Structure 1
Amino acid sequence: MKSHFLLKGLVAAAFLLGATFSAHAEDALARIKAAGTMKVGTETAFAPFDFIDAGEHAGLNVDVFAELGKELGVEIEWIALPWEGVLPGLEAGKFDMVAGPATITKARMERYRFTPPVAEATVAILKKAGDTSITKPEDIAGKAIGVGKATAQLAQLQGYSEKLPAKVDIREYPAFTESYADLAAGRIAGVANSLPNIAFVASQRKDTFEVVMPPFGQKAYFGFIGTKDADHAPLMDAIDAALLKMKGDGRLAKLQEKWFGASFDTPDAVKDPAF
């Protein structure tokens, strides 16, 4: 009798041990596929990548992740929060990856894993339409220029300001939409953001804004972000493969043309960012 109970106990323990091992053996991709949902963190004030249009979440990221969801066989669950909370949220495990997207920089690559680029991210200035005091990037010297908090655009603006005869009066905003509102109201002289973003904003409000050309920032690219740990490696590998497939069959270029009015010649990977 004792041996019978002992055998049953050993079988139960083995079952529990196997279940525990199986749970730990599952990586992020396996868990996402089992759940049928991938959680993606982003902000929704970064048009044309992510923004709210008539109450609906819209933009390039929404369309791209819809295609990625099809490739992975999962639904996309969006989690929106201010940009300064997005990367900490990823590290805290609140979502599986970040749409953003974010400029691929050396410092960020040390901490996160980036997907293949989805667009260019070179920085330029948006000014008020008809403002003749800013005809080239150097003209922002000594002027109040808005930029997003905790962004690569902020770092580039700070570096560029150091090279000018008068430092730029840099105004940091939690959301770019607020900086555009202040620019339209004349409270600041310009906004520094990536060329794709401000080109979209200018195209939507031609009587209000103009883009100052050429861009002043170094050549850069936007990518989606994941963590670098082994648990998430299969997921990031799958995302990379899906994005490169979309690039190869023309789907990515069509979405770029839809949201930017042009497609971008981007590398398959960024290994050595300019900054």
Structure 2
Amino acid sequence: MRKHILAALAGAAFVIGSGVPALAQDALERVMAAGVLKVGTETAFAPFDFVDAGTHTGLNTEIYAEIGKDMGVEIEWITLDWTGVLPGLEAGRFDVVAGPATITKERMERYRFSSPIAEATVALLVGAGSDIAAPADIAGKPVGSGTGTAQLAQLQTFGATLDTPPTEYREYVSFNESYADLAAGRIEAVANSLPNIAFVASQRPEVFKVVTPAFGTPTYFGFPGRIEPEFASLMDKIDEILLAMKADGRMEALQEKWFGTTFDMPDYVTEPNI
């Protein structure tokens, strides 16, 4: 009889136990134990992430070099098209995203964003000889932006306010493709965040220029991470380092290097403007 009772109790324990998911491993502990922080990004988003003479470079590479140094871990880069970066994060291909991504209300429901690392307000890049002198001048013209980006969404919202909307919103997997089409005259303007297009125009002033003022709502770039509780410690650590970089001048120096200017940023974005 005793054996039957013990067997029944063991079976019940198995059923009860199998219905309770195992606690997920803490992300920071896992990263520190492995000695590697895996970072997903695209390399067609200068000056944040791009390839120069075969070398992955940009603001993000230098920020993450500081993060890796402060954490005492190596940075392992996983690069892919932007349309695959956020799905790759959710699928567990890497621990955090360099990107970066515009911090929006919709995205904050799915991702934990780091402390902002740059302004992300959207503006227009046009040809150096273009007659587009103000954002409203894109009325009736073909314009482009990145597929699945907050920049495209703001462009479409702005275009809908014009008496004559743009004739076409052309979407690009990478912004480099949109710049090529702009240079070739296939579109009249590209909508992207001001830091990005300011960099592009500074590299090729004979081809491009920036239209001011920016037409977008004031926004900021941050690094997206997982929102699940087991990733909170990792994102807290990244924020701790980013805030230290802002306090000791490292962030300002990197912004000056890559953008030629610095940005007045909040420590955190809790209520995005878009």
Structure 1 residue aligned with 2:188:
189
Answer yes or no: is 1:146 the counterpart of 2:144: yes
Distance 1:167 1:130 in 2: 22
Contact 2:24 2:230 in 1 (8 A): no
Unpaired runs of 5+ in structure 1? 1-22
Q: Give the partner amino acid of 2:93.
A: K
Distance 2:245 2:190 in 1: 32
Summarize the Cα distance change of 1:153–1:272 in structure 2 as closer, same or farther, 3 Å threshold: same
Distance 2:266 2:195 in 1: 17
For residue 26 of structure 1, report the CA deviation from its aligned partner. 4.0
Answer yes or no: is 1:84 the counterpart of 2:76: no
Structure 2 residue aligned with 1:157:
155
Secondary structure of the residue aligned to 2:109 is helix
Contact 2:123 2:194 in 1 (8 A): yes
Distance 2:27 2:257 in 1: 32
Identity of aligned residues (%): 65
TM-score norm. by structure 2 comes to: 0.91
Structure 1 residue aligned with 2:10:
none
Unpaired runs of 5+ in structure 2? 1-21
Deviations 1:4-56 (CA, angstroms, capped at 9, x unpaired): xxxxxxxxxxxxxxxxxxx9574111111111100000000000000000000
Distance 2:23 2:105 in 1: 32
Answer yes or no: is 1:238 the counterpart of 2:237: yes
Secondary structure of the residue aligned to 2:98 is strand
| Correspondences of 1:33-48 after superposition (within 5 Å) | 33-48=32-47
Q: Give the partner amino acid of 2:150.
A: A
Distance 2:83 2:24 in 1: 33
Summarize the Cα distance change of 1:162–1:25 in structure 2 as closer, same or farther, 3 Å threshold: closer
Secondary structure of the residue aligned to 1:100 is coil
Distance 1:226 1:131 in 2: 39
Deviations 1:57-115 (CA, angstroms, capped at 9, x unpaired): 00000000000001111010000000010000000000000010000000001110000
Contact 2:89 2:96 in 1 (8 A): yes
Summarize the Cα distance change of 1:37–1:170 in structure 2 as closer, same or farther, 3 Å threshold: same
Secondary structure of the residue aligned to 2:266 is coil
